[in-house]
Every structure is written in structure tokens, then in C-alpha cells.
Amino acid sequence: MSKRGRGSKQQPRTPWLKWLGAGLIMLLLVPLGLLYLRGAFRQSVTYSLANVPSLEDDRFVRMVMGLSSSLPTNGELIGFWIGADAIYAARLEAIRQAQRSIQFETYYMTPGQRADEFAAALIEQATNGVTVQLLVDNHGTGSIPDDYWQRLTNAGAEVRFFREFDWRAPLDYNSRTHRKLLVIDGQQVLIGGAGVSDDWDGDPDIGDVAPWLEFEVGYTGPIASLMEGFFLQNWAYDGGRVDLAQAMPIQSDADVPLYITYNAASLDESAIRMLFQLSFMAAADRIWIGSPYFVPDTPTRDTLIDAKERGVDVRVLTMGESNDKPIVRFASRELYGPLLAAGVEICEYQPSMMHAKLALIDSGWASTGSANFDPRSYFHNDELNVSTTYPPLIQHLDRFFVSALEDSHCLTYSEWQSRSWTEIVQGRFGLLFKDLL
Ligand SMILES: O=P(O)(O)OC[C@H](O)CO
């Protein structure tokens, strides 16, 4: 029997523990390292703008075009629809009018009556020989069963799922298409915040006693052709075939000035954030913001507080207790303190989920589209917003906002201070993931 010498090393009793520890450390370090290489921890840049021209100064729109990559175009306003019944009826009517093509891009769909009616209208048109192309976000439409898409493709529609999970680029899954657009024959476009879901009829499970607050805008003219191009861009990026022979010449003398801001999914800079910041800094009388998910970053909050301090009427219309993402609401409410203290009005819609997205600046500028006021819309999603100086559209939005305020509760600072500790805990937890909200 050999004896261990005095100087020989002691073997650890449980070497597997050492390996387990090392393995766990590697499991933590490797993803962190990959996130680091991807720039996930980079410091966000604050856009430091000064002396932004007023809305009356024609340099304002030129600066919007340049700084926020906004394309100028024209259109004619053909509809402003409020609420699920009007919005879905307008979409079905537009689909039935199509002669040549229907292109639809959206983030969110769920099974139900609205989705079935939508499919039935598309199937009828595809069967008639109309080109039907659907580009749906793979994540946001994940609850729709395969046989739904199968029925559409059997009828001749083309369906593409935007950004399916790819294990070779897992982080890409964070960037979604959040655009919402329906283009008919390249001549007509409907743009609003609604997905295709019975949720918009009101969901008693989340406390809704009315349909969701939402609107949609319809245009004809050159804007439709431009939007067809944006649709085809993502279609091509997603691997779809683009046949430009189908693009029709525009038959229109529409002259409503419109500016299209396109946000590409990325982890760095944001045309949408630039658009909002420029607009807020140009405001002299009012900044009225509507957004279900209102998670302002520090520069946005500072810009709104500065505006309030120079005498601008700053109001935010957002979701109240009836909402589909309580954790986002609580996280959002954790950020309200300095805004309320500065006198910004934050009003929570009461009857149901408030889902409309808009910004009204003075009486001369408005922006609507798919973008929420949150980091997800700023930095992670594909978004499309339409801004305008067109008075009739601004008046529609003005009336929409005023009427929604009548059914909203505007928070006071002391109410906000006395929110429950359970809400605070959930909100602070949500804020840990603020950059992804
Ligand atoms: O991200 P939004 O604003 O399109 O809303 C989608 C919601 O998840 C609808 O419940």
C-alpha cells in the first residue's frame, strides 16, 4: 500500500462542484459577453438640440425631413374612423374595392371573429385573382393557428412571417415589425394602431366596459404608393419576391402635405425619437400626446418638462386600469413623478384600454402611426408614422383627444404619491427591463 507523502497535494473531495461552478460562471459570462459585443450596454445618446425653429418657420419641416429621415409626400384624406366597428368595417370595405393588390403588414392578431371576417374578405379577393400579400409579425401573431394561414394560402394569398426565431441570430428576435398598414392597389392606404383582434371590441377580463379607444386614417394619392414601397421593402428583407411591374402609376392630384417617418429596427439611433423631440421643442402652445404605452426616457421627460416651463400646455393621454399590460403601466407610472410635479397633465382613459397613438403640436402639426412613446418603438421596432400640417386632419385628432379626455382621469401629484406599495414594487421591477418595454 502506498502512503501519501507529507508534501503531496490534497485532492478536493467533490471536484464536480468545481466544474459545476465554472460551468455556471461560463453560462453567465458567455451571454453577457455576446450582449456586450452587440453593444447592448452602450450608453444611449441624448439628442442635444437647440433653437429648433417654430412650426411657422418653413425650416421646421425641412429639419424634420433631414434629422428624422422623414419623406415628404402628398395625399388626400379619405377617412377618419374611430372605434373597432368603424375601423374594421373600413378595412373590409377597402379590401372589397381592390382590383389588383392588397398588402397588409401588422404586428398583432388573435383568433376570433375579427380575424375570421378579415380572412374571409381576403380569401374572396385572392380567389378572384387579386394579389394578396400578408406580412405579419411572427411574435405578435403567434396565437393564430396554422390552419388560419393555410386557408389563406390555399386561396392564393401569400403569407410571410416577419422575423421568425433564428438560433444563429437569437437577439434579432427582439426587433419586431410594429407597422400597421393596409395598402389597396397602391392607390389607397389605411394606417392606424389597431391589430386584427376581438380585443379592440373591449375585453371584460381586463375591465373594459367599452371598445378600445382607437382610430384609423385613410388616404389616397402618392402616399399610398410610397407605403406600398415600404411594405415591399420589408417583404423583400423577409425573403419575399418583389415584382415591381405591379406598381401602378398614381392617378391623383392630392395635395395634403404628409411626412413619413420610418424607424428601422436597430439597437442604436431612432428617427422616431428624433421626430418627437423636434416636434416637442418646436411647440409654443401645446403638446398633446396619446400613447397606450408611455414609457418616456429621461431626454423625453426633460423635453416635456422644459416645454411646460416655457408655458406649453403638455398633456398625456394613456391607458388606465383597463389595460392589457399592467406591468408596463406600473413601470410607466414610476416615471410620472417629475412630470406631474412640473405640471404636465397625465390622464388615464377609464372606460377601456386606450390604444391610440398620436402627437398634436400647437394647431399646426400632428403625427400619427404605429409608434408608442416607449423604448421599444424608439429602438427595437420597425415603425411608420405620418405627420402633417393639414388642418382638417389636425381637427379630427383634436376632437378625438378632447372627447377622450372627458372620459379620463387626470392624476394629481398627491394621488400619484399615494399609489400602493404593491404597484411600486411591480413598477420598479418592470423598470429593470425598461429598455425593452
Ligand atoms: O404594441 P401595440 O401598440 O401594437 O399593441 C399591441 C398590443 O399588444 C395589443 O394588445
Query: What is the ipTM score, two decimals?
Result: 0.93
In this structure, is residue 227 part of a structural domain?
yes
In this structure, is residue 45 part of a structural domain?
no
| Total domain count, the chain | 1
In this structure, is residue 249 part of a structural domain?
yes
**CA 108 to ligand 1 center in whole angstroms:** 6
Assess whether the C-beta atom of 408 lies below 6 angstroms from ligand 1: no
Q: What is the pLDDT of residue 2?
A: 42
In this predicted structure, the answer to whether residue 95 has a pLDDT above a threshold of 90 is yes
Q: What is the pLDDT of residues 343-399, one digit of tens each?
A: 999 999 999 999 999 999 999 999 999 999 999 999 999 999 999 999 999 999 999
Q: Percent of the chain having pLDDT more than 90?
A: 79
Q: What is the pLDDT of residue 9?
A: 57
**CA 149 to ligand 1 center in whole angstroms:** 21
The identity of residue 387, as a single letter, is S
In this structure, is residue 317 part of a structural domain?
yes
Q: What is the pLDDT of residues 146-166, one digit of tens each?
A: 999 999 999 999 999 999 999
**CA 109 to ligand 1 center in whole angstroms:** 9
In this structure, is residue 360 part of a structural domain?
yes
Average pLDDT, the chain: 92
Q: Looking at the CA of residue 376, tell me the nearest atom of ligand 1.
A: 1
Q: Percent of the chain having pLDDT more than 70?
A: 97
**CA nearest ligand 1 atom 1, residue:** 178
Q: What is the pLDDT of residue 195?
A: 97
| CATH number of the domain encompassing residue 390 | 3.30.870.10
pLDDT, average across residues 312-338: 96
Nearby residues of 341 by Cβ (< 8 Å), 6 or more positions away: 413
**CA nearest ligand 1 atom 6, residue:** 108
C-alpha to C-alpha distance for 229 and 131, rounded to whole angstroms? 15
Give the residue numbers spanning the domain of 336: 58-432
More confident residue, 8 or 287: 287
Assess whether the C-beta atom of 231 lies below 6 angstroms from ligand 1: no
pLDDT category at 6 given cuts 50, 70, 90 is very low
In this predicted structure, the answer to whether residue 11 has a pLDDT above a threshold of 90 is no
**CA nearest ligand 1 atom 7, residue:** 108
C-alpha to C-alpha distance for 142 and 140, rounded to whole angstroms? 6
In this structure, is residue 23 part of a structural domain?
no
In this structure, is residue 43 part of a structural domain?
no
Q: What is the pLDDT of residue 266?
A: 67
Assess whether the C-beta atom of 199 lies below 6 angstroms from ligand 1: yes
Q: What is the pLDDT of residue 254?
A: 81
Give the pTM: 0.91
**CA 135 to ligand 1 center in whole angstroms:** 16
In this structure, is residue 11 part of a structural domain?
no
Q: What is the pLDDT of residues 191-210, one digit of tens each?
A: 999 999 999 999 999 999 99
Write phi, then psi, for 296 (nearest 5 degrees).
-70, 135
Nearby residues of 334 by Cβ (< 8 Å), 6 or more positions away: 424, 427, 428, 430, 431
pLDDT, average across residues 266-295: 93
